[in-house]
């Protein structure tokens, strides 16, 4: 009897050792994580949390207020844009005033230039007949030159003012648009939900400060699925649509492999084994046949349905 017990124990040990070493090649036994789509709410500048309107796990709808934050950087930028816009308005008003003055003076300068040019022509005719002295002709010619110079200057200034007013108007329009977009983006520090879902496990506290790029909270939405780390080697056929069982030791659910992903990833620390080195395994996506009751980020085990589950499914089909 002792030898029989010893041989049975030895056989069980051999089976357990063989199952540990080669079991993954014969049976589908893969670790996975229950995931859902996660939308992160990140800080775009250095901000301070002034109010929190949600709690962990709370359901929220799109557009609902999540946080009230304050950012000195954005407020300073808004003030800079407002100050720049005021300067541009003042400059545009000054340019338009100058353009109006030039527009009023230009016809007078044109009339003066034409009259002095006519006088020069008449004096030249009289000079040819020796009726007018050369000194008088030179004086009128100098006046005509001054009148023509003034007309050319005013004409050039008018063209320059038109171009400058257009450039300032465009700059002011861009400044107003940037100011409007920044104020709309800042929304007085109100952070709203981008989609409906549930608040994640991390919620900031009032007074907490975040730098640009820091994650403040997350919104979990969509149907749950399992990201599975397939065995390194297996001798069975594995295709999309294959029925599987998902369990975490306390509850189980039926599912199917929806997609075998063409990517690999290192096994997370919680799935690593003490006597096996860190491995990189191919990923697969498993969908639940019915709405999942598994919590997000739960560790699960994905296997083929056992005989009992297969018989139950067969009876349901009948």
pLDDT at 314: 53
pLDDT at 68: 93
The three-class DSSP label of residue 257 is strand
For residue 302, what are the contacts with CB-CB under 8 A and spacing of at least 6?
28, 29, 30, 31, 32, 226, 228, 244, 245, 246, 255, 286
pLDDT at 69: 93
The three-class DSSP label of residue 79 is helix
The per-residue pLDDT for range 127-164, each reduced to its tens digit, is 666 766 777 767 778 888 888 888 888 888 888 888 99
Please tell me the distance from the alpha carbon of residue 109 to that of residue 155, in angstroms, as a whole number: 10
When pLDDT is averaged across residues 281-300 and rounded to a whole number, the result is 87
Query: How many Cβ atoms from other residues are within 10 Å of residue 95's Cβ?
Result: 19
When pLDDT is averaged across residues 52-74 and rounded to a whole number, the result is 90
Helix (H) or strand (E) holding 127: helix 72-128
pLDDT at 275: 56
Q: What's the mean pLDDT when you consider all of the chain? A: 83
31 class by beta-carbon count within 10 Å (0-12 exposed, 13-18 middle, 19+ buried): buried
pLDDT at 296: 83
For the chain, the helix, strand and coil percentages under 3-state DSSP, each to the nearest 5? 50, 25, 25
pLDDT at 115: 85
The predicted model scores a pTM of 0.61
Largest distance between two CA atoms of the chain: 157
pLDDT at 227: 92
The three-class DSSP label of residue 177 is helix
Distance of CA 156 to CAs 143, 166, 168, 231, Å? Answer: 20, 16, 18, 81
Whether the CB-CB separation of 43 and 216 falls below 8 Å is answered with yes
Tally of helices (H runs) and strands (E runs) in the chain: 4, 12
Taking Cα atoms as reference points, which of 267, 260, 253, 234 lies closest to residue 32?
A: 267
The per-residue pLDDT for range 234-276, each reduced to its tens digit, is 766 778 888 888 988 778 888 999 998 888 888 777 676 655 5
Q: If you search the block for the tokens 């004086």, which residue do you land on?
A: 139
Please tell me the distance from the alpha carbon of residue 109 to that of residue 101, in angstroms, as a whole number: 12
């Amino acid at each position: 009897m002792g030898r029989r017990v010893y041989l049975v124990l030895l056989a069980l040990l051999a089976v357990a050792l063989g199952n540990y070493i080669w079991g993954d090649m014969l049976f589908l036994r893969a670790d996975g994580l229950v995931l859902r789509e996660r939308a992160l709410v990140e800080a775009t500048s250095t901000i301070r949390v002034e109010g929190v309107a949600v709690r962990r796990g709370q359901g929220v709808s799109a557009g609902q207020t999540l946080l009230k934050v304050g950012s000195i950087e954005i407020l300073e930028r808004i003030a800079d844009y407002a100050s720049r816009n005021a300067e541009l308005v003042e400059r545009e008003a000054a340019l338009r005033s100058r353009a109006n003055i030039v527009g009023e003076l230009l016809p007078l300068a044109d009339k003066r230039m034409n009259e002095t040019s006519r006088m020069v022509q008449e004096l030249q005719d009289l000079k040819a007949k020796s009726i007018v002295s050369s000194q008088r002709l030179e004086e009128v010619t100098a006046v005509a030159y001054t009148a023509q110079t003034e007309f050319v200057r005013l004409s050039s200034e008018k063209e320059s003012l038109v171009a400058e007013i257009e450039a300032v108007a465009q700059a002011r329009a861009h400044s107003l648009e940037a100011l409007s977009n920044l104020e709309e983006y800042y929304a007085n520090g109100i952070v709203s939900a981008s989609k409906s879902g549930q608040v994640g496990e991390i919620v900031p506290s009032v007074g907490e400060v975040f730098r640009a790029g820091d994650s403040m909270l997350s919104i979990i939405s969509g149907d749950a699925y399992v990201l599975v780390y397939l065995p390194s080697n297996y001798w069975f056929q594995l295709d999309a649509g294959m029925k599987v069982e998902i369990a975490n030791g306390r509850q189980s659910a039926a599912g199917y492999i929806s997609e075998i992903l063409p990517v690999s990833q290192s096994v997370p620390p919680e799935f690593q084994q003490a006597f096996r080195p860190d491995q990189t395994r191919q990923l697969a996506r498993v969908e639940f046949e019915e709405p999942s009751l598994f919590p997000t980020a739960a560790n699960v085990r994905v296997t083929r349905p056992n005989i009992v589950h297969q018989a139950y499914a067969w009876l349901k089909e009948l």
